[in-house]
Amino acid sequence: MKIGICGCAGRMGRMLVEAVLDGEGASLAGGSERAESPALGQDLGSLIGRASLGQFVTGCVSGLFDVSDAVIDFTTPAATVAHAALAAEHGKVLVVGTTGLSPDDEAALAAAARRTVIVHAPNFSVGVTLLTALTERAAAILGPDYDIEIVEMHHRHKVDAPSGTALGLGRAAAAGRRVALDQVWCKSRDGHTGPRPAGEIGFATLRGGDVVGDHSVVFAAEGERVELTHKASSRAVFARGAVRAALWAEGRAPGLYSMRDVLGL
């Protein structure tokens, strides 16, 4: 499968170029950056510290879709929405890792997924996908006596909060309790908050240094506490998962799929 990478010069973009080059069944179709990017014209091999590939960072994303069977996009919400429309137009698989999408952005992805295959996940690691499934089950089993708090820490460059993964874990916990997350969430606390309302799902966000991505789901009751934790120490786990999702997507019916679909969880 020929795979193109949008945002190929970014932290994840470079990991994705490596994962495609090293992935069985995958070959690199090319990589794009925004039209004004200083990375345009750079060799994709040199970009990741390997031998030259004779393939260069392009600003023509439509051309990238032309030469790809699947495109992987870890960029920004605005870019992802534009790429979803292009994927639908070209009938190509799109794998989206971008987080911080607004409800309108999510709706745009869902609309594009009526015409093509889109796999969208806030976290493509196998470990977090399992953690998400476990969180849903734990929330259902433990019930309302256990207060749910989700704690995440990421590197100082991260621009969205809470992380997409934290929100995904919150959604899973809410599903386990058969409630809608946006009816019960508390995304941050400050000042005289009063006691914790029953049924709330709380979030705490830490930022600093080079932390790749830590997530914990805490179930706290009177007399005991259960904590489920995942720590990523390399972005390679996200990149390998995204390539796995692209290969899985080949030949599927149009629709919006998740990493849980890819892993059958």
Ligand X SMILES: O=C(O)C1=N[C@H](C(=O)O)C[C@H](O)C1
Ligand Y SMILES: NC(=O)C1=CN([C@@H]2O[C@H](COP(=O)(O)OP(=O)(O)OC[C@H]3O[C@@H](n4cnc5c(N)ncnc54)[C@H](OP(=O)(O)O)[C@@H]3O)[C@@H](O)[C@H]2O)C=CC1
Question: Which residue positions form the known binding site?
Answer: 7-12, 97-99, 121-124, 155, 164-165
- Where on the phi/psi map is residue 26: left (φ > 0), alpha (ψ -120 to 50), or beta? beta
Shortest spacing between CB 106 and ligand X, in angstroms: 14
Residue 76: contacted member of ligand Y, ligand X, none (CB under 5 to 8 Å, by partner type): ligand Y
Binding residues for (S)-2,3,4,5-tetrahydrodipicolinate: 155, 164-165
Residue 80: contacted member of ligand X, ligand Y, none (CB under 5 to 8 Å, by partner type): none
75 binds ligand Y (CB under 6 A): yes
Q: What is the residue type of 38?
A: P
127 binds ligand Y (CB under 6 A): no
- Among 58, 68, 98, 216, interactor with ligand Y by CB under 6 A: 98
Residue whose C-beta lies closest to ligand Y: 10
Shortest spacing between CB 49 and ligand Y, in angstroms: 16
Report the residue number, 23 or 147, with the smaller CB distance to ligand Y.
23
Residue 9: contacted member of ligand X, ligand Y, none (CB under 5 to 8 Å, by partner type): ligand Y
Report the residue number, 147 or 152, with the smaller CB distance to ligand Y.
152
**Where does residue 40 rank: exposed (0-12), middle (13-18), buried (19+ CB within 10 A)?**
middle
| Neighbouring C-beta atoms of residue 206, cutoff 10 Å | 11
Q: What is the residue type of 35?
A: A
Q: Per-residue x/- marks for ligand Y, 224-263, CB under 6 A?
A: --------------x-------------------------
Give the burial string for 119-158 (b: 16+ CB within 10 Å, else e): bbbbbbbbebbebbebbbebbeebeeebbbbbbbbbeeeb
Residue 154: contacted member of ligand Y, ligand X, none (CB under 5 to 8 Å, by partner type): ligand X
Report the residue number, 14 or 177, with the smaller CB distance to ligand Y.
14
Could you list the residues that contact ligand X (CB under 6 A)? 99, 122-123, 154, 158, 163-165, 213
Q: Encoding tokens for residue 212?
A: 């790749």
Report the residue number, 55 or 179, with the smaller CB distance to ligand Y.
55
Of 92, 158, 215, 230, the active-site residue reads 158
For 2, 59, 246, the CA distances from 20, given in Å and listed in that order, are 9, 20, 10
Q: Encoding tokens for residue 171?
A: 């959604």
Q: Is residue 206 within a helix (H) or strand (E), and if so which, with residue range?
A: strand 201-207
Q: What's the chain's Rg over C-alpha atoms? A: 19
Residue 172: contacted member of ligand X, ligand Y, none (CB under 5 to 8 Å, by partner type): none
For 21, 44, 45, 177, the CA distances from 48, given in Å and listed in that order, are 11, 7, 6, 44
Catalytic residues: 154, 158
